Structure 1
Amino acid sequence: MFGKTVHIAFWLLACLPGTAIGQELIPNGSFETYANCPRQDNLLSEATPWYNPNQATPDFYNQCFPTSQIEIPPRTGQGLARLFLDQGWAEYLATPLVKPLEAGECYYFEMYVSTKTPNQYVPQTLGAYFSDNPVARTDKGLLGVSPQVLDSQAKTINSPSQWEKIAGYLKATGNERYLTIGSFVQLPRMLGFYYIFLDDISLLPIRLDLGKDTTLCGRKSTYTLNGKTPGAIEYRWQDGSRLSTFPVTRPGKYWVTVTTPCKILSDTITVDYTLDFDLGPDTTLCNEQTIVLKAPTSISAYEWQDGSSQNVYQVKQSGQYSLRATQGNCTVRDTIQIRYIRPPQLELGPSKELCGAEVYTINPTFAEGTFRWLDEFSDIERVVKSSGVFRASVRNDCATVIDSVEVGYGTCGCVIYAPNSFTPNADGVNDAFVPFACGDIAIKSLAIFNRWGEVIFQTDDAPFQWDGRYQNELCPNGVYAWRINYELRQRGQISQKQQQGAITLAY
């Protein structure tokens, strides 16, 4: 929402992530505390230590005394402040800081503003001025100072009664001890007053601190590094991640670089574990297998789930196994689940030799796992119509077994079968000449010849069959010749072949 301003060492941001850390330098920035509950207007001084720097009359309200003057609910908590701005009338609110600003140090400032009449709000006028001494004026006019933080947007407040953030950065010259908030550039040019409400005013030093080097008990200890920095634009951790926080999952050195418009910060921390061990992931074994669990050799005090204290533990049956180790004030326990299952079983049957156009159905026998064909055939039962080696597997968490079966047409050969006659009389029986073959044969073309050797029918596309017609007319009774070109695929070999024969057409 906020762009750059013309003021030195200050940038406004559209969106500033995270929760600010470090010492808050604005006392009572959310107007929650008061000397006496405000029961009328013009009582900013009750919101200690806020005060009025000129002769105008800024307001302080709190839900301790509900009033219709609280036209906009506080953004947080119970309290808020209000400024009245009109032609020749400038209200401000001011407060001493918790401590003076340090020379050369960068600070992040933000405040939230709202009004019921955003169309009357004069943009690019509201800001914050930091000074080493209080600023004051004996009338109700503009203070003659240039704020370090200024709303620079052409339109900051877009909706009535909507809280909007004005934020920016300040590089201190040193010893600034007071904050003054109000309109510093201009007031409304004509009578047409408006109120502006303020809440949640904050000033924080831009600092990064991951804390001191730390030693955790073990791998199950939870620890999150917090790199949150006021006004950060980008976080980059040692592994490239870009969140403001980082979960520690193992001992080592961690670091983060944080970019802000004011400066770039880096910090490093080393995290160690007193007890760095684990028994490994949960494991599934086949029957009769064993696994040996080992205790860390650098630790003298440890105890297994059955109370034993040997340094190795041999597992032979299903169950949950745990080891508790103690060193100093740290006690770490790790657990592993061991599961035993039977190995998978699979039988596809013996190899099979087929004859002619015979087909074969493979019915796998399997148990203790999930079955699948290795060529991704979907059904379990499989009808085989061509030569080949067919492989399948059965898998479970214990193991994977693979079996294969070979099917071939080697006993009596793979040939084309064709009828010797057909009757194209449309009675639904034997109405076409239809050759067929075993699955190893792929027919490529069919041609029909009359008794003079003339081609009367030819096709290179399936289905390869003749209905007894020539030029859409039924051919006369008689004997016709046929020729089929085909491709034979067997045992990895491909050969081009041709077969001829005769067919009798009769009505």
Structure 2
Amino acid sequence: MGQELIPNGSFEKYQNCPRQDNLLEEAVPWYNPNLATPDFYNQCFPTNQIEVPPRTGVGLARLFLDQGWAEYLATPLTKPLEAAKCYYFEMYVSSRNPNQYIAGTIGAHFSNQPLTSTAKSLLFAKPQVLDAQASTVSGSFKWDKISGTFEAKGGERFVTIGSFNKLPAMLAFYYVFIDDVSLVPIELNLGNDTTLCGRKSTYLLNAKTPGATDYRWNDGNTSPTYLVTKPGKYWVTVTTPCKILSDTIVVDYALNFTLGRDTTLCNAQSLTLRGPANAPNYRWQDGSGQPSFQVAQNGTYSLRISQAGCVVTDTIRVSFIKPPQLDLGPNRELCGAEVYTIKPMFAEGTFAWQDAFPQTERTVGRSGTYLATVTNACTTIRDSIDIDYGECGCVVYTPDLFTPNADGLNDLFQPIACGDITLKSLSIFNRWGELIFHTQTAPFQWDGFVNGSVCMGGVYAWQIDYELQQREKISQKQKQGRLIVAY
């Protein structure tokens, strides 16, 4: 915030404690610019005239407004206003009867010479700040703010506060209490470029500007303040009703170093911790003073560096663990419909199949490469096992004889195959080559019935269509054979 230009803006100071009405001049340097009788009250002398407690402190002023009667407050500023410079003005008003308050009338006029009048009526002046709200006073004896910004012409040395537009049209007088009058230049200053100690240091930038309607930092942040946590150039643009302001600051760090995050290493590994280059001194946790430190065991390690009154310390925790272990076993060659259960041997970590198979052990019946991992904070290791049916052939097996007599033994004709084979259809033919059974849906089996009746004993033929997939190759296959039905 800029320098406060309203002296005694909260009516705290006085020459003599006011013990009656009409004593504004006691609130130095405030004065009465016309022949009306503005009031000054202070709790140095409690009185029933103080109908509302001061907004802050112990003092306040009061204006009486009626038909043909206008009271004002006036004071010299602490210094003249500068030409083309923007200023922010605010004050707080309160009234017993909000419905009597005339909106758009109360304001502040700034002038090179004091406004004066030998009458008690309105002063003829155009205020730079005027109450622009439709209904400023929100309730009986509630403090409400009147504020605004303006650009000075230069040389203004006095402020006059009161009604500049109208007074009550009939005898319906009312009082307006006034407190906390303020005038400050609208300025933005983030301060000089600065240097902090180390990366744990922070720096709060304050861009709070009177009357601001928008803040925009270099990263898009819209708060009036910004917490710096790393070195760099920072800038902000502040929008006010009067002008747009901007400022830039560079924040540097004298000892901007880190040993890194806490880390976990495998046994037999090592870690070299390094301090910043060209530092004036180094002090490690064991008292040594070299620029680097070799870590080979569990522990907490720290480095302290001091420079020109700046002391920075950083710490790192290093843990060593055993590396993970994994063995899926040797590659396997399978024959026919043979299956194999892979039983991984692993330790020091979490096991997972690459294809997300949910169990650790898995039974396989298809050619392929099966991959798995074991992971811990140290690292991840991988292993694989190849299953291959190609060495002795992946074939379809069928029985030569079946007995569909419902005795629970050998009642179905059902082919079987290794996992690389996918059956597509099964067809049965009689001795004359006529198709008597066909299915393209699993399970691929025949129970010996034809059109609802059990077939006669004898010789039949079968045909199976299937798909063979080994590695990346897919082949369409067909196989035929003889079948004996017996009872």
Q: TM-score normalised to the size of structure 2?
A: 0.79
Whether the 8 Å CA contact 2:202–2:230 is kept in 1: the answer is: no
Q: Which one of 290, 308, 316 corresponds to residue 288 of structure 2? A: 308
1:496 aligns with 2:473: no
Q: How far did residue 108 of structure 1 move?
A: 1.7
The change in CA–CA distance for 1:350 and 1:49 in structure 2 (over 3 A counts) is farther
Shifted more, 370-379 versus 409-418: the winner is 409-418
Q: How far did residue 174 of structure 1 move?
A: 1.1
Letter in 1 for 2:147: A
The change in CA–CA distance for 1:333 and 1:483 in structure 2 (over 3 A counts) is same
Whether the 8 Å CA contact 2:448–2:455 is kept in 1: the answer is: no
1:22 aligns with 2:2: yes
Q: How far did residue 33 of structure 1 move?
A: 4.6
CA distance in 2, matches of 1:75, 1:487: 91
Instruction: Quote the residue 2:279 is aligned against.
Output: 299
Whether the 8 Å CA contact 2:427–2:438 is kept in 1: the answer is: yes
Q: Which one of 276, 298, 302 corresponds to residue 322 of structure 1? A: 302
1:275 aligns with 2:260: no
1:93 aligns with 2:73: yes
Structure 1 counterpart SS, 2:198: coil
Give deviations 1:191-236, integer Å, cap 9, x for gaps: 5555544444322211122222323333333323333332334444
1:185 aligns with 2:165: yes
Letter in 1 for 2:270: T
CA distance in 1, matches of 2:153, 2:167: 29
The 5 Å alignment of 1:196-207 reads 196-207=176-187
Instruction: Quote the residue 1:393 is aligned against.
Output: 373
CA distance in 2, matches of 1:118, 1:86: 15
Structure 2 counterpart SS, 1:217: strand
Instruction: Quote the residue 1:152 is aligned against.
Output: 132
Over aligned residue pairs, what C-alpha RMSD do you find? Answer: 4.3
CA distance in 1, matches of 2:483, 2:46: 109
The 5 Å alignment of 1:201-216 reads 201-216=181-196
Letter in 2 for 1:92: Y
Letter in 2 for 1:223: Y
CA distance in 2, matches of 1:463, 1:70: 100
Q: Which one of 86, 92, 97 corresponds to residue 106 of structure 1? A: 86
The 5 Å alignment of 1:44-443 reads 44-45=24-25, 47-60=27-40, 75-77=55-57, 79-115=59-95, 117-157=97-137, 163-190=143-170, 192=172, 194-410=174-390, 413-414=393-394, 438-443=418-423
CA distance in 2, matches of 1:477, 1:232: 97
Gaps of 5+ in 1: 1-20
Give deviations 1:106-141, integer Å, cap 9, x for gaps: 112233445565454433333222122332344443
Letter in 2 for 1:229: T
Whether the 8 Å CA contact 2:91–2:147 is kept in 1: the answer is: yes
CA distance in 2, matches of 1:59, 1:25: 22
The change in CA–CA distance for 1:430 and 1:24 in structure 2 (over 3 A counts) is farther
Structure 1 counterpart SS, 2:104: coil
Give deviations 1:66-124, integer Å, cap 9, x for gaps: 77766666555555545454544444333332222111111122334455654544333
Instruction: Quote the residue 1:476 is aligned against.
Output: 453
The change in CA–CA distance for 1:501 and 1:74 in structure 2 (over 3 A counts) is farther
Structure 2 counterpart SS, 1:301: coil
Q: Percent identity?
A: 63
Letter in 2 for 1:308: S
CA distance in 2, matches of 1:121, 1:357: 100
Q: How far did residue 271 of structure 1 move?
A: 3.5
Letter in 1 for 2:239: T
Shifted more, 414-423 versus 388-397: the winner is 414-423
Q: How far did residue 375 of structure 1 move?
A: 2.8
Work out the number of aligned pairs and report it.
482
Structure 2 counterpart SS, 1:154: coil
Whether the 8 Å CA contact 2:404–2:447 is kept in 1: the answer is: no
The change in CA–CA distance for 1:140 and 1:410 in structure 2 (over 3 A counts) is farther
Gaps of 5+ in 2: none
Pair member with larger Rg = 2
The change in CA–CA distance for 1:452 and 1:493 in structure 2 (over 3 A counts) is closer
Q: TM-score normalised to the size of structure 1?
A: 0.77
Shifted more, 241-250 versus 121-130: the winner is 241-250
Shifted more, 332-341 versus 251-260: the winner is 251-260
CA distance in 2, matches of 1:189, 1:468: 115
Q: How far did residue 24 of structure 1 move?
A: 1.8
CA distance in 2, matches of 1:435, 1:155: 94
The change in CA–CA distance for 1:96 and 1:443 in structure 2 (over 3 A counts) is farther
Q: How far did residue 361 of structure 1 move?
A: 3.9
Whether the 8 Å CA contact 1:477–1:504 is kept in 2: the answer is: no
CA distance in 1, matches of 2:221, 2:304: 34
Q: How far did residue 491 of structure 1 move?
A: 0.7
Give deviations 1:429-459, integer Å, cap 9, x for gaps: 9999887755444455677889885688766
Letter in 1 for 2:282: Y
The change in CA–CA distance for 1:417 and 1:222 in structure 2 (over 3 A counts) is same
The change in CA–CA distance for 1:314 and 1:119 in structure 2 (over 3 A counts) is same
CA distance in 1, matches of 2:22, 2:345: 92
Shifted more, 354-363 versus 328-337: the winner is 354-363
Shifted more, 63-72 versus 79-88: the winner is 63-72
CA distance in 1, matches of 2:486, 2:65: 112
